[in-house]
Structure 1
Amino acid sequence: MAFHEVRFPAKLSFGSVGGPERRTEVVTLTNGFEERNTPWAQSRRRYDAGVSLRSLDDIAELIAFFEARRGQLHGFRWKDWSDYKSCLPSALPGFADQRIGTGDGVRREFRLAKTYASGGAEYLREITKPVEGSVLVGITGDAQILGVDFELDVTTGVVSFAEAPDAGEAITAGFEFDVPVRFDTDVIQTSVASFQAGEVPDVPVVEIRL
């Protein structure tokens, strides 16, 4: 298998349903209390693109994309319209959006990440598929210049500085990002309702680990 650095057509993913999935094991004791545990440190996202298809042309584009990925065999990029920025959906990314590390005077590489915080608890999500041209980076409030101060690997989300940031300096970033996914089926079943419109009832997509 391989990962294809190509995005599922954004116009076809717009209107899809889906989001993060967790796996929690719950054991109810004889006294009514519960013990809860999870084997997953990271959440996993699932989507269904079927609801967003509106025409026979959409179906043709979907089938071409599906065939080129060989069904479930190869991964690809997916734009999650509800969560694709380092900032709020209504805002524009800025270099101070997310803290991705702290300098120690030696380390030069930092991976992009997004922190989800609520009620004093936090979840750190690594970002491995940033959108090229969208990434902004800062060091302790100072914007850095791509190609001069740092380089970015858009296939891994790793930021590499020309010089290691000094100890204690805050490394921050703002960006747009895609989710690495694959089709969660090897079958695409279409139903043509009329000459101008069709229906794809189920096009499941699931996040993959890289």
Structure 2
Amino acid sequence: MTLPPAAARRQLKHRRQFDVQVFVRDDGLWEVDATLVDTKTRDAQLAGERRAAGMPIHDMLIRLVVDTSLNVVDAGARTRWMPYAGHCDDHGQAYRSLIGLNLARGFRKGLQERVGGVLGCTHITELAQVLPTAVIQAFAGEVIDTRGDGGVKPFQLDRCHALRSDGEVVRLHYPRWHRPAGAFHDTPRSPE
């Protein structure tokens, strides 16, 4: 694996954390809570206030409610910590416009069209871009057949280099779906 070596001496200045949690509800729908938190290792002078080291510069939450077909049936966002109080959190109901999008079909494009740029919050919109694959991971083996036992090619095949239909992983773990090198196979893009 190629990874640039970390310097022997370096100092952390900024941390951005994404946290995505996916919950199944009693009504069969799923909730996706995603947060973005930015902190600094030094005090930061913000508009009108000084924020102590370790206190959030940004703390934002987006919540989607999705069905098992990956359709967004409800959505909203909240900004809890921000540099411009009364402004950063004034995106109102912008993220409700995500209702009707599908996480596996055109979500990222629809996200940009509906809340990109000045239509929403840059940070919340950036955070929302990771939701399709996070929800698919949550659905894997529960909602989505990842073994191919139902006679349908497993969703994840041909979506990354390790799971190529003509590759070793598929030959060993999904022999039914293995194809010889050079044989025609679908190469769909990653879920949007």
Same fold (TM over 0.5): no
* Structure showing the higher strand proportion among its residues: 1
* Structure showing the higher helix proportion among its residues: 2
TM-score range, shorter chain: under 0.3
Q: Which has the higher contact order (CA 8 A, sep 6+)?
A: 1
TM-score normalised to the size of structure 1? 0.24
